[in-house]
Amino acid sequence: MKVLVTGAAGHIGKNLVKAIHQDYELVLTDIKQDEELDKLGLFQQADLAVLEEVLQLAKGVDAIVHLGGIATESTYEQINRNNFNGTYHIYEAARKHGIKRIVFASSNHAVGFQPINQSIGPDASHLPDTYYGSSKAFGENLANMYNKKHGIETASLRIGSYLEKPSEHRNLNTWISVRDMNQLIVRCLEAEQIGTSVFYGVSSLHNDYFDNRDAAKIGYDPEDNPEDYREEIENVKMENVTDYIGGMFTNFGR
């Protein structure tokens, strides 16, 4: 399978590429140059906000792992250019080149204003907490439209806290380890059918925030458990815990 990975120089992208480069033919891209990626696939520096560049990247690929864009809150102008427009260009490229499988890096911030302690599932209503979260909700809705109109399948991954290990109390529900993130993406690439699925990017199939048991249906079986770190972080000041899943993001811009 030939796979285009956007945002390949980012934290998630780099770790993913290192883990899977021997199993797939990879086309790698990022807005910044990265010499290490030249050894792991065909690297092409590109700006996802420029449609012509995205169309060139997507020629001849079978699937896209879309990790590119701004990965935190920023100005509307920056989020609009890099996340809204960049994601639209990915879907347009998939449509024009007949690509039928996309793995989209969504975020827990697409549902950031959902209250905690109710374990929401994939059907939870979008309640974004930021411009960033809104761009991820947009991407999920774009996936639905392109599926209905053009038959493109998408797994939208509402990623929690991608860290080497949990660092504070909120991570007991939001943490995903490097190897579990890699596993989840591979499961989405290899699943026979995904339609327009939503999975939570967490190292758990069920916790106080997220009901992620649908991910088990495509073979996702987390190898790491945030509970293993509970004692280590029990006394960490709970700065990022609010009444909402999005944590401190829900306070940005107030």
Instruction: State yes or no: is 209 an active-site residue.
Output: no
pLDDT per residue of the chain (254 residues) written in tens, 0 to 9: 999 999 999 999 999 999 999 999 999 999 999 999 999 999 999 999 999 999 999 999 999 999 999 999 999 999 999 999 999 999 999 999 999 999 999 999 999 999 998 999 999 999 999 999 999 999 999 999 999 999 999 999 999 999 999 999 899 999 999 999 999 999 999 999 999 999 999 999 999 999 999 999 999 999 999 999 999 887 776 666 789 999 999 998 88
CA distance to 31, 34, 75, 156, per residue, from 44 (Å):
9, 10, 27, 24
CA dist 55 → 17, 83, 122 (Å): 21, 16, 30
User: Which fold, 2-251?
Assistant: Rossmann fold (3.40.50)
Among candidate residues 132, 146, 200, 220, the one labeled active-site is 132
Per-domain boundaries in the chain: 2-251
